[in-house]
Chain A
Amino acid sequence: MKKRQKMLAVLLASTMLAATLVGCGGQEADSQGSSGAQESGSEQEAAASNESEETGAQEQASSGEVQQLNFYAWTSPENMVPLVEAFNEDYAGTYEMTYQKLADAATMTINTALGSGEPIDVMTQASAMDLRVRADDGVYLGLKQFFDKEGWTYEEIMGSAMEETMNIEGDYYAIPYCNNINMVWFNKKMFDEAGMEYPQAGWTWDDFRETAIAMTHGEGGDKVYGAMLDYADGDGDNYWDLIARQKLGAFTYYNDDFTATQFDAPEFKESLEYFYNLAMVDKCIVPLEEYTALQYHKDPTGMAGLYNGKYAMWIAPVYGCLYLNESYGEIPEGTDIGVVDMPTTDGGATVTTCYTSTASIPATCKDPDAAWEALKYACIERADLFAGPKAMHPGYAFQSDEDRDAFNHIIFDGKPGLDVDMAMEVMALDRTLVSKDNTVRQGQVGINEAIKNNMTLVFSGEMSVDEALANLKEQGDAAIAADQ
């Protein structure tokens, strides 16, 4: 009896051990199969392996078999259904797209998926720095070859601003699938109650300040602020440099040849001083301590704060209107949200900031041509089904006013509480966009760290504007020098 029990115990332990090893071994075998190039050791072997897989995949397609395409992103699966269904219908019998949801857009989430040999055909990313690092490390395919095949240039399809930021040593490793334009959202009801005029296009930063001061009232937990903007949080949009960006253009932090920072430029002082005064002197924008504690830097909470009357204006991207939806929280009856372009210093032509999320094709992809079809479809041909449901503008430049209006309808229609007519009118206005995307690798990590560290001190009242900018200049230049 004892012997039998012993045998049973040994058998069970061995089975569990074997199952564990087989389980892990199976995954490894799968990943080896799909990554191929990553495991082969040399670039030649990788190329050969990739080529044979590519040929196999193309043969599969020509033999009439439907080829599977894996699209990896962090979009919620229900928002992907229209895109996947439309693609599979349009390419019926040739390709079949499957959507794989990533946990989030974090650097390591995507790197792990790419590095672990997942059979990825198209992959999205939110960070321009991540894109640059992956492109430099040979993780992504250059896309210029596909643009050439189509007879397109990147600039004519995506616009010159996108071309400028996405051009990495003469090639392009991603297509922006969205363009998030920064606007000022405002609570019309609060303006009506205060007897204030709604902000209009062509307003100035002085107007913004006066409006924010006028809309601020109350004390303590009941205090209502004139505006909320994410000016110093590490996870957020860092709007403290907005005025400098409007004046200096793309790659704002760098000098012309990217060998040093330009935090000593007067535009940075003007910008930081302006937002410092709003927060610390006028106290008319939500203070750092409150917006981090109440999580206002998270977009759904940001919009909720606006329609619940915690503040009258909110600087956020266009997709902020996505959160005017019951599924993100109960919207009070009578909610009436308006939108206006960003103010400028002189009230002249509108210049505003924007940023993108992008999509790429991994270098290990089995059939690059098929992956290109999926990438092109999601980002250019049917952006209405990918960017549209997320209330984002497409990455490409609109070819006509009709195209623009049709897309804006997709973004704004069906958002309870939004003044859709106002949004449509405002978005039809001319504006110059300045991209916040930074695809310059030199010093970027150090610069971003320095910004976060110094700005939290400035907006906690522990550091002066001049001291912070001097630190940024010194620390940013050191970071660039270290990366040269």
Chain B
Amino acid sequence: MGWAFIGLNLAGYLLFKLLPLVLAGVLSFTKWNIAASLDKMQFVGFDNFARIFRDSVFWESFWNTILYAVVMVPIAIGLSLILAVILDTHVFGKGLLRLAFYLPNISSMVAVSIVWMILFIPSYGPINSILMSLGIDNPPKWLNATSTSLISIIIIGVWQRLGYNIIIILAGLQGVSKSLYEAAEIDGANAVQKFFYITIPSLSNTMFFLTMISFISSFQMFTPVQVMTKGGPGTSSSVLVYYIYKAAFQNNDIGGASAMAWVLFLLVFVFSAARMIVSRKKES
């Protein structure tokens, strides 16, 4: 009886998640053109892994992915927390503001990326026009310089992530007992003290959830790089998923792409495992 209920989901999981995962594992040890017959598949052992580990662009993409996550996630969560606390209090147009912050999350990332490209045009884009009007003579070249291309993508990541984070934090804030704030007020705590001694500790589970989810989704970041920089200038903004996409879908290197996909999988797996261990410790 139980099997019948979970059957559909199980079949979907096996067919569309587990099987591709296992197949990617198998393909990572082969050289194969997907258009050719299966008998053309060559077993190459660990060659694909050896090749990608020797590839400087792979490592640049790997470290860019980590850097993106490590910088983007804390900024996005920190800003979201501040904004959510403000939105949770009596702010004029609260509903409208929540909608405004959430909109980037449901907008097409391709369309949004094109708009950001225009905003970032170094010579006359709106962002640099503002900076120049503020007296900055040599504003950044944003997407068009190796030193700022990844930073530009992080800015867009933060902007896009804010809405989702705010909604989750707002939900968490509803669970914080008002009596704690009232008691703190009676004890003479100011707003900052209430924020650090009541709000943040009360939201620890929410923040932990957001941190892990944000890290995992950051590792899978793709669209802004594909649309805006194609990993450039040079390879300065290449990230793992983009490099995997290029290897598999443009360069027909299915084996190499599968090997890289497994490295990415291990990265995400380590974070997920860490999350589980920490959650269990907290529960116990």
Chain A residues at the B interface, C-beta cutoff of 8 Å: 6, 9-10, 13-14, 16-17, 20-21, 24, 37-39, 41-43, 46, 106-108, 110-112, 114-115, 130, 133-134, 137-139, 220-221, 223, 233-235, 287-290, 292-295, 445, 449, 452-454, 456-457, 460, 462-463
Contacts and interface: CB of A to CB of B under 8 A. Distances in A.
B234 A294 contact: no
Given A13-B4, A17-B7, A454-B234, A38 B38 contact: yes
A16 B8 contact: yes
A112 B252 CA distance: 11
Contacts of A38: 37-38
A233 B39 CA distance: 37
Given A13-B4, A289-B143, A456-B233, 17 more contacts: A6-B1, A9-B5, A41-B38, A107-B249, A108-B248, A130-B252, A133-B252, A138-B37, A138-B40, A235-B230, A289-B122, A293-B114, A293-B120, A445-B251, A453-B57, A454-B234, A460-B233
B122 A111 contact: no
Chain A interface, DSSP helix/strand/loop, else mixed? helix
B117 A293 contact: yes
Contacts of A457: 146, 232-234
Interface in B17-43: 33-40
A112 B34 contact: yes
B179 interface: no
Contacts of A292: 117, 228
Nearest to B253: A445
B68 to A, nearest CB: 19
A463 B38 CA distance: 44
B123 interface: yes
Contacts of A294: 118
10 contacts: A17-B4, A21-B11, A111-B34, A114-B35, A133-B252, A220-B124, A288-B144, A453-B234, A460-B141, A462-B234
B251 to A, nearest CB: 5
B108 interface: no
A107 B33 CA distance: 11
Contacts of B146: 457, 460, 462
A235 B232 CA distance: 13
Given A13-B4, A106-B249, A295 B38 contact: no
B35 A17 contact: no
B234 A20 contact: no
A56 B21 CA distance: 39
Contacts of B141: 289, 460
Chain B interface residue number, banded: 35 or more
A287 B122 CA distance: 11
Nearest to B145: A460
B5 A41 contact: no
A221 B118 CA distance: 11
A-B pairs, top 9 by smallest CB distance, nearest first, are A137-B36, A220-B124, A114-B35, A111-B35, A456-B232, A293-B117, A108-B249, A456-B233, A289-B144
B233 to A, nearest CB: 4
Contact of A115 (B7, B35, B143): B35
Contact of B4 (A14, A288, A460, A462): A14
Contact of A134 (B35, B144, B145, B249): B35
A37 to B, nearest CB: 6
Contact of B12 (A6, A20, A114): A20
Contact of B252 (A41, A107, A138, A454): A107
Nearest to A111: B35
B121 interface: yes
Contacts of A289: 121-123, 141, 143-144
B250 interface: yes
Nearest to A41: B39
B235 interface: yes
Interface in B147-196: none
A137 B33 contact: yes
Contacts of A452: 230, 232
Given A20-B12, A115-B34, A139-B36, A14 B253 contact: no
Nearest to A446: B251
Contacts of B235: 453
Contacts of A41: 38-39
A462 B33 contact: no
Contact of B232 (A134, A138, A453): A453
B121 A290 contact: yes
B50 interface: no
B15 interface: yes
A377 B122 CA distance: 50
Nearest to A10: B4
B230 A234 contact: yes
Contacts of B8: 13, 16-17, 20
Interface string B239-268: 000000000111111000000000000000
Contacts of A134: 33, 35-36
Contacts of A17: 4, 7-8, 11
A42 B39 contact: yes
A209 to B, nearest CB: 21
Contact of B15 (A10, A24, A46, A220): A24
